[in-house]
Structure 1
């Protein structure tokens, strides 16, 4: 936890999930720049909306305005709640929504932290546009090294004329005038087809889902070797970090009597997996969908866990998410249950699996990926 002194207030902020080894701060210079702009303004905004606030730097600084906060991340939602409690701020001061939540009314202030995913940016601007007015103050911000080169063009297309500020501490703000006459088409989830065994399947992906337009090569390798894995006797199979749900759906084809659980910390991912499953199994009920931190919220022991872990959280790259997934997998697996993982060779997941489980087997590999399997034996 670190002290965040800004132009409006002083806050104590921690990154979430909490880790004693995490030395990074829970805000950046773009947060500071956005708060400074708001503090200097003479406008008395009444209905602010904040998009992509990761741990509450923006929403907690503006909590007295009762902002609506939109994030696709379960971890961000709970990071904001945790930091509100640390700072003795009532959770009711902030309305937490997902990118697919229904909005209402008009917002007179939009604060946008530019997301890493440009498809998510377009989805958010499209979703938000009907709730803006010509009097809406629209300001976007981000660290310069992370901003897409097409940002101004995107803002002008989906919001209106846009001006960039001067850089400050390697951050930049963008001020847009709302053009309510713009014709904005409502976006829809992407869909693509792929083959598994004798089936032609369709995978769906909302804007913030990894590999939303085609099957990623890691998952493709794992699917090639799923038939050789002893899943036939599994009673409960978990697709951990499910994304669009391709792994869980294919496991469901192989195991028609098994309970299949899809879990991810992205609201859009779990909704995408639900679409993929329902298109494949319109009448099958032995399934559940959980938005949570890894396997928290999964109460039933698992016989099989399938996992294609992410190796980044927003702009932070590392294996901390994978290690958290593997640790929780050991806790949730039944005795004799197995965790099967696909990962880039250079991430050395076998070292972590050997340390946690005491064993691993190399199932398959190519020049970039390895498929590893480990058994809970103690």
Structure 2
């Protein structure tokens, strides 16, 4: 078997930079241990599940080694598209005309190669992903709540003899992760660190509660409006801030009553959907769209809209920076941009969303943005969107209003 060309993998269409890589040592450890366990257990791919594969390094290396029918769950839309692009670039999957250019594989639809059949099938984090699985390879998530939801899902739906191999960079790993895994598995054993990464092996799935632990829900009463607004937020494990209202979103909510009434309002990078839900509750005639690149966020936002009785009035989509929405289609964009890419601090994530807002806003439309004041985005917003003014400022956060030129 030839050495897999990890160096050829790209992050595209995600942010690419010299300090951002498309694979790490943990991917290599997971592949090596996964192939060893697959050989020991006679697995050829269909009983193997890969979760959290950032840009396809794990999935594609397994495919290159001959595994077929892999089931894959990636949270980010950018990761799903990168996996498809990388698979096509390496010739591991092809479109029916054989041109080597692969569109993003949708959940439940197999990505195939005409000579070797089904190679991998994308799924959401659900029973279809895990039923009958005997080996699960997991890149450890940052949030303990996300790990809890994944561990519960594996214990809930996978085969009784399933082995979960979870890996991460040592500097980001904690004993609390072992504790979380112990709630769902009888045996949890950390392995010796290699190349600054470490694997944790878990097996012996425990009995699970009848009802899955996620999404969680929390009701908030907002008093910054003429009349108090009650909103219930729902959150899956991978949703930022859970069912709480993070401090940046709360600062923008404090001035949301100043945002004009509009025909089409877009919550860009919606998270659990707090901004979209509150705007819809206070503007019943508006068409509201909420979009996020995280599948956990999208599932959370949909659950939020259902909890607040507005699912029929708010469209929630899983997309990369609103890429599937038409140009100049929004009158107002609401945005609380992230400043992290995975475990790296990187402002390029916000820049991509500013650029997306510039494309999506109709002329004269408004972008309302909240950001950490230290990041000083006003100049960039003026350049990319148009005239920008400060609307509100706290000790840590700034809210600006930009008019699309």
Which whole-Å CA distance do the structure 2 matches of 1:71 and 1:303 have between them? Answer: 32
| Comparing 235-244 and 295-304, the one that deviates more | 295-304
- Structure 1 residue runs without a partner (length 5+): 1-5
Distance 2:313 2:15 in 1: 35
**Aligned with residue 291 of structure 1, among 302, 306, 318:** 318
Question: Please, which runs of 5 or more residues in structure 2 have no aligned partner?
Answer: 94-110, 113-118
Structure 1 position 359 matched with structure 2 position 387: yes
- Pick one of 212, 223, 226 that aligns with 2:242: 212
Moved over 4 A (4+): 18-23, 180-185
C-alpha distance in 2 between matches for 1:29 and 1:57: 10
Q: CA deviation at 1:16?
A: 3.1
The farther-off stretch of 127-136 and 55-64 is 127-136
One of 155, 161, 168 as aligned partner of 1:135: 161
Q: Residue 26 of structure 1 aligns with which residue?
A: 22
String of CA shifts for 1:166-209, please: whole Å, max 9, x gaps.
11111111122324556686213121122233222211111111
Alignment of 1:229-378 (within 5 A): 229=259, 231-232=260-261, 234-282=262-310, 285-299=312-326, 301-377=329-405
Q: State the TM-score, normalized to the length of structure 1.
A: 0.91
Equivalent residue, structure 1, for 2:43 = 45
Specify whether residues 16 and 152 from structure 1 end up closer, same or farther in structure 2 by C-alpha distance, changes over 3 A only. same
Alignment equivalent of 2:73, drawn from 70, 73, 79: 70
Deviation at residue 133 of structure 1 after TM alignment: 3.6
Q: CA deviation at 1:143?
A: 0.5
Q: CA deviation at 1:115?
A: 0.7
SS at match of 2:81: helix
Q: Deviations over 1:47-73 (max 9, x none)?
A: 111110100110011123221111221
TM-score, normalised by the number of residues in structure 2: 0.85
- Cα distance in structure 2, aligned partners of 1:256 and 1:181: 44
Q: Provide Cα deviations, 1:3-46, integer angstroms capped at 9, x if missing partner.
A: xxx98533420013255645532111111112222344542213
| 8 Å CA contact retained: 1:53, 1:59 | yes
Q: Distance in 1 between matches of 2:131 and 2:237?
A: 24
Q: Give 3-state SS (helix, strand or coil) of 2:332's partner.
A: strand
2:219 maps to: 193
Is 1:95 the counterpart of 2:121? The answer is: yes
1:86 matched to 2:89? The reply is yes
Structure 1 residues 89 and 360 mapped into 2: Cα distance closer, same or farther (>3 Å)?
same
2:12 to 8, 12, 16: 16
Q: Distance in 1 between matches of 2:83 and 2:364?
A: 38
Structure 1 163/352 Cα, relative in aligned 2: closer, same or farther at 3 Å?
same
Partner of 1:160: 186
> 1:100–1:268: 8 Å Cα contact kept in structure 2?
no
Partner of 1:151: 177
SS of match in other structure, 2:204:
coil
Quote the residue 1:3 is aligned against. Answer: none
**Cα 1:185–1:332 shift into 2, 3 Å:** closer
Query: Is the Cα–Cα contact under 8 Å of residues 357 and 376 in structure 1 kept in the other structure?
Result: yes
Q: How many residues align?
A: 369
Assess if the C-alpha contact under 8 Å between 1:138 and 1:178 holds in 2.
no
Q: Corresponding residue for 1:57? A: 57
Distance 1:297 1:138 in 2: 35
Answer yes or no: is the 8 Å Cα contact 1:8–1:39 preserved in 2. no
For the 8 Å contact 2:265–2:333, the answer to whether it is kept is: yes
* Counterparts in 2 of 1:182 and 1:271: CA distance versus 1, 3 Å: closer
Determine if the alignment matches structure 1 residue 112 to structure 2 residue 138.
yes
Distance change >3 Å, CA 86–CA 183, structure 1 → 2: same
User: In structure 1, the residue corresponding to 2:276 is in which secondary structure?
Assistant: helix
* Aligned-partner Cα distance in 1 for 2:274–2:208: 36
